[in-house]
């Protein structure tokens, strides 16, 4: 089952996700981690909901890992 990372309702604190950081948008390099904060206020975003991971890294959710 694929969960859409572009909709805020699908992203919860504590979920294990893959994000893309701003400097890696061209290369597409993904970073894994656990969501600590949801930074996007709108209900959806075309490039993914922006989150901060427990590690402190910030990026947009590409995949939710179950």
Give me the tens of pLDDT residue by residue for the chain, a chain 66 residues long. Answer: 678 899 999 999 999 999 999 999 999 999 999 999 999 999 999 999 999 999 999 999 999 987
**Torsion sign over Cα 18, 22, 24, 26:** positive
| pLDDT at site 60 | 97
Three-point CA angle 4, 63, 8, nearest 5°: 45
pLDDT at residue 3 in the model: 85
**8-65 has which fold?**
SH3 type barrels. (2.30.30)
């Amino acid at each position: 089952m694929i969960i859409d990372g572009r909709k805020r309702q699908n992203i919860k604190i504590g979920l294990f996700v893959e994000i893309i950081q701003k400097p890696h948008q061209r290369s597409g390099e993904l970073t894994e981690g656990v969501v600590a904060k949801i930074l996007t206020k709108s209900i959806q975003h075309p490039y993914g909901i922006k989150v901060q991971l427990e590690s402190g890294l910030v990026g947009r959710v590409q995949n939710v890992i179950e």
